[in-house]
Amino acid sequence: MDMKQNVLKLTLILFLLAPFVTEAQISHGGRPLSYTMLRSTFQNIFQEMPSFDIDAEIQLDSLMQNDLRGGYRFAYKFMTDYTPENSGQSFFLADGTRVWRLGIRSKGAYSINLLFTEFEIPKGAKLFLYSPDQSQVLGSFTYLNNSELNLLPVAPVYGDEVIIEYQEPVDVDFAGRLKVGEVNHAYRDLRGSEPAGVFSQYDCMPSPVCASDTTDKYDEIVRSVVLLIINGDVLCSGVMINNSRNDGTPYILTASHCLNKQFTMVNPDYIKMANTVVSFFNYESPFCSKVLRGTEELSMASTHLRAINEKTDMALLELLEKPPVYYRPYYAGWNINETTSPPYTNIHHPGGGVKCLGICTKDINLKSYSGHGFNPNSHWNVLEWETGSTAGGSSGSPLFDSKNHIIGALTGGNSSCSSPKDDLFFALHKTWLVGDVDSLNLKPWLSPNGNQLICEGLDPYETNKAIELSNLQASGNRELSEIAYLPVPMTGQQFGVNSLNTTEYAESFTIPGTATLWGAYFVTPEISNNTSLSVEVKVYSSTTLNEPADPLFSTTFSPTYTNKQILNEDFQETVKPLNRAQESFIKFEPAVSVSDKFFISYKITASEKDSFTVYTLPSGSTQQNTAWLKYQDKWIENTEHPVKPYSTSLFITPVVQMKTGETSNQKTELTNIRLSVDRNQKRIRIIIPGNINETRYDIFSIDGKVIQNGKISDTTEYFYLKNHGCYIIRLKQRNKLYTSKFVL
């Protein structure tokens, strides 16, 4: 079948599928049967994968490398046919629930990921995947994960064994259909391919966070770039892209050669390949100078194929539903004019690692990309990068113009850190309207109602978006963050296990009103031991004295120490190993309502040999303290620490969504406060009559982020701000409150 016939067939299928609505394959909570309950029955459930020649696969990968910035292959694929009828064990619980369990073992695998080529289960049924000790759990997957093609791709589970557990109640409408059709054995240690692992390969490619302290130019478009795992064995980059209707349709733009393995597949089933895609959001380093692994918990599985054109290397996918608000997605805008202006920006995932930034300040031109059957003059040619380069796994990543509009996506090139030159991006305007069917073009999807040449970006939650609160950015330089230790002769980490026997630590946050707290990022160093370690994460309200009060929420966060690594564990229920310094997102389920001031803590249960802590600002780097500890059953600020008192902040970053129209529950107002603004000096003055003891202040940006906060030390206080804009200041004195908006 030639390309045109293949596309016509594809167009018909897309048309037939278009009216149907399905749910995205996000996990839906719950836990599998307990480890102790299942442990004794594990022996007879495993299917063993045959051995294969790993060296031959790596050699094959090297032979397939060419000037295409190819998808980064990391796994060997076994085609299987495992169902409840022919493998594993089935049994019944006392309430009649039927349970099917199947173990899959592939000796020596860094991780295993699966594709269910048949997946249709009834309401009430649940599917889980987990490691044998349940240190990693994916799921539950429910009827909400059913799709038109009855496929379910699942992200990797660490190690060389994975357990599948299906629970089906007795009173369901129909019997579920399950078939494991593919088992992917990861033969590469993917974390070793990140910048944090072998940084020498990518030392010219800075993390986007490196620029965040000096410019906000990249803040939104960074959130649009996603890491893609395709068919369980290929890594590429992609970008969320807006459409002229601004209707929030979650399109992802990437490269077609990511879906056809660099054009090596004969008559590829693009619809099936699109269904195997797992997209990871916010996979980026929290530090610039010490690159760490980013969060891996924010992902979505499966996409629809909307358009693909092998002659231009374009592929347009659509997620099955809009990413949740706490993912903080952004749909980048685009420009299909034939003329553009520098500087140009590329944000990508080289080698499947954390996001990296490339900048070109020179003009670019259209060029023919020879050797792969592409249309002539259909690619933008970046002659040289002033910052960064690209690598395998960068394919599909966006090229932005000076206004942050997408003008193309990466096809290939020859750039490297030693020679950052000559990369080629397929041009949007050259694949806009070049075929005779919608599935060959971008225009029918991105500009269906006219001939718009430029489309601005979109935050789909702009009217009530989620924001990250960072005390480190408000009070100091996060790049200075360290692991704090108690001074000799004391031992241990100041905010971890130590000889002082403190075990619970909290970070305080202040907001101008009421908000929904979705979860928090924890940035942690590696764990050195894990003999009896468990961590409980809590959320506290505040007393009138600004101390932690009643607990509002609690969840367990139990990291495991291992000596092997994987790229992603996926979904909110995953508990990932913490054997390397990294950022982790802890989802609060259900979300927590907080107001005014709240605290996020972690409480450690461990032996003296265990270690768990978060990065903190060092002594002398900030005058504002937001860190607390529980000492002798009493909460105290770290400035009152019995051994090493100083001002600091813990690297805990909550994600909150302000509740519009709701205000603080504080009723009594502070009166006779005088506020004046000096725009020229970017300064405000506050005069507070009377007793100022225990008076605290908070200054917020208009979107609720803390700019400054601390204690009032004089009846007349001056505050200097970096930028002009609209702000909110709040003074709090026990149960009294003063709030005022001002424009600087």
Q: Is 455 within the bounds of a domain?
A: yes
Q: Lowest mean pLDDT of 342-356, 424-438, 596-610, name the range.
A: 596-610
Gyration radius of the chain's alpha carbons = 27
Q: Is 9 within the bounds of a domain?
A: no
**Which of the pair, 16 or 403, is modelled with greater confidence?**
403
Question: 315-349: per-residue pLDDT in tens?
Answer: 999 999 999 999 999 999 999 999 999 999 999 99
pLDDT of res. 346: 98
Last residue of one domain, picked from the residues 463, 486, 509: 463
Q: How many structural domains is the chain composed of?
A: 4
**Which of the pair, 80 or 710, is modelled with greater confidence?**
80
pLDDT of res. 624: 87
Beta strand 736-743 pairing with 668-669? parallel
Q: Is 20 within the bounds of a domain?
A: no
| 674 closest CA partner among 718, 643, 708 | 718
State whether 409 and 315 are in the same domain. Answer: yes
Q: Is 623 within the bounds of a domain?
A: yes
State whether 602 and 704 are in the same domain. Answer: no
Considering Cα of 204, then 297, then 352, then 321, what sign does the dihedral take?
A: negative
- Return the H-helix or E-strand segment holding 3: helix 3-17
State whether 709 and 619 are in the same domain. Answer: no
CATH number at 739 reads 2.60.40.3080
Separation of alpha carbons 622 and 618, rounded Å: 8
Tokens of 263: 């054009």
Question: 251-292: per-residue pLDDT in tens?
Answer: 999 999 999 988 877 788 999 899 888 888 999 999 998 888
Q: Would you place residue 75 in the very low, low, confident or very high pLDDT band (cuts 50, 70, 90)?
A: confident
Q: Would you place residue 490 in the very low, low, confident or very high pLDDT band (cuts 50, 70, 90)?
A: very high
Beta strand 683-687 pairing with 582-605? unpaired
Last residue of one domain, picked from the residues 188, 222, 238: 188
pLDDT surpassing 70 at residue 467: yes
State whether 363 and 442 are in the same domain. Answer: yes
State which residues form the domain around 491: 466-658
| 28 closest CA partner among 166, 128, 148 | 128
Q: Is 21 within the bounds of a domain?
A: no
Tokens of 199: 């940084």
Q: Lowest mean pLDDT of 32-46, 341-355, 646-660, name the range.
A: 32-46
Q: Quote the mean pLDDT of the chain.
A: 84
Q: Would you place residue 18 in the very low, low, confident or very high pLDDT band (cuts 50, 70, 90)?
A: very low
CATH number at 378 reads 2.40.10.10
Q: Is 118 within the bounds of a domain?
A: yes
Q: Is 10 within the bounds of a domain?
A: no
State whether 626 and 736 are in the same domain. Answer: no
**Which of the pair, 63 or 640, is modelled with greater confidence?**
640
Q: What share of the chain is helix, strand, coil (3-state, %, to 5)?
A: 10, 40, 50
Separation of alpha carbons 583 and 283, rounded Å: 9
Rounded percentage of the chain residues whose pLDDT exceeds 90: 53
Q: Is 645 within the bounds of a domain?
A: yes
State whether 231 and 183 are in the same domain. Answer: no
Q: Confirm if 241 and 335 have CB atoms less than 8 A apart.
A: no
State whether 478 and 424 are in the same domain. Answer: no
Largest CA distance in the chain: 86
What are 669's strand-pairing partners?
737
CATH number at 75 reads 2.60.120.290
CATH number at 497 reads 2.60.120
pLDDT surpassing 80 at residue 14: no
Separation of alpha carbons 301 and 574, rounded Å: 14
Q: Would you place residue 72 in the very low, low, confident or very high pLDDT band (cuts 50, 70, 90)?
A: low
pLDDT surpassing 60 at residue 736: yes
Separation of alpha carbons 251 and 238, rounded Å: 10
State whether 275 and 380 are in the same domain. Answer: yes
pLDDT of res. 702: 62
Separation of alpha carbons 377 and 598, rounded Å: 57
pLDDT surpassing 50 at residue 572: no
Last residue of one domain, picked from the residues 658, 682, 713: 658
Question: 543-563: per-residue pLDDT in tens?
Answer: 877 899 989 999 987 533 222
Q: For residues 609-620, give the mean pLDDT.
A: 89
Question: 127-160: per-residue pLDDT in tens?
Answer: 999 998 887 888 889 998 888 888 888 878 888 9
pLDDT surpassing 70 at residue 403: yes
State whether 638 and 498 are in the same domain. Answer: yes
Q: Confirm if 138 and 163 have CB atoms less than 8 A apart.
A: no
State whether 161 and 44 are in the same domain. Answer: yes
Separation of alpha carbons 597 and 620, rounded Å: 25
State whether 284 and 362 are in the same domain. Answer: yes
State whether 199 and 287 are in the same domain. Answer: yes
Question: 379-391: per-residue pLDDT in tens?
Answer: 999 999 999 999 8
